[in-house]
Amino acid sequence: MSIPSSPYLSVIPGSHEESQLSTLFPSSSLPTADCQLSSLHLPTATCPLPTHPFKIFIAGHRGMVGSAIVRLLQEKGYQNLLVTTREELDLTNQSEVHGFLAAEKPDYIFLAAAKVGGIHANNTFRADFIYENLVIETNIVHAAWKAGVKRLLFLGSSCIYPRDCPQPIREEYLLTGPLEQTNEPYAIAKIAGIKLCESYNRQYGTSYVSVMPTNLYGPNDNYDLLGSHVLPALIRKAHEAKLRGEQSLTVWGTGTPRREFLYVDDMAEACIFVMESGVQDGLFNVGTGCDVTIRELAETVKQVVGFEGTINFDTSHPDGTPRKLLDVSRMKALGWEAKTPLIAGITKAYKEFLKT
């Protein structure tokens, strides 16, 4: 396979010869299911497939989700993967993004680039979170359309849904109530990304799809205690408490909020699955369909890490949203379900953490 070169582009070669490559995004038949999909444009038969070499741009390939997508694409034998470092391409710079996509003209884009963080980071750096995410999304989506990109997958977040919406959370609950205040700027930016894809599809006939993951964890997670999400923070706290021989571990909040957690390799599989399915537009929740309390999560991390002390809860810190459990019936209707049980995923994540 002929792989194009670029002065500011890193190209990841696969390990298979061209004759061994399966065509990316093969057609699939959709299973029938009792699920409300009337607002989505689903394929009714098979999808026409490219029979020539093509490019896949993974924006945010160094992040947790982006790196998992790259790993899985490589495992499947896909060769022509385009990635750039921040030094090579600043996604917040409109002219750079437009120039890059106009020159490279990728066929497919996974938009996994984003500024992310936990409650403390979201609540402290509110301007940074809304500005950087809005700029990245608008730059890439608009430049993708101008460059004639065939398909784009936008990764959002479950925080887009109202704080007190019914559980489990269905996609149609978007914009039906007030957001959680601690991460409202980030959520608004992600909602804007969904509406960007929806609007370009409607006005320009593009095929840009949005997926909303639940809380993710796994390789390449952020373990900085000031900027991380709850699960990686718990892994680091429990590990360090074990090394110091401490008798107790303090966790922020009451421990009563319920959260859903998805291993990042499952998320990567879901992203590629959606692109393969031939879905032309719409919003899809991606999760496990089950949740645990923060107390139960902390006890599970304690077990995996081997910390033998007690767990205390500091109720002076906010809990955030009381419960966030996604309704994943749309993904199930397409034929996808998460595979990794929580304790197995945390065990894998802890092994990766020990390598850092």
Name the residues annotated as catalytic.
Answer: 186
Q: Would strands 10-12 and 81-83 be described as parallel, antiparallel, or unpaired?
A: antiparallel
The span from the CA of 231 to the CA of 217, in Å, is 7
The one-letter code for the residue type at 255 is G
Q: Which residues pair with 171 in a beta bridge?
A: none
Q: Are 104 and 6 in contact (CB under 8 A)?
A: yes
Burial of 237 (0-12, 13-18, 19+ CB in 10 A): buried
Q: What is the DSSP letter of 172?
A: G
The one-letter code for the residue type at 21 is L
Q: Quick one: how far is CA 126 from the chain centroid?
A: 20
Dihedral (CA of 113, 155, 264, 182) sign: positive
Q: Which residues pair with 10 in a beta bridge?
A: 83
Q: Which residues pair with 11 in a beta bridge?
A: 82
Query: Which residue is associated with the tokens 């030094």?
Result: 87
Which residue, among 271, 289, 292, 266, has the nearest Cα to 348 in the 3D structure? 266
Write out the two tokens for 100.
């890059």
Dihedral (CA of 54, 57, 89, 127) sign: positive
Query: Which residue is associated with the tokens 């459990």?
Result: 325
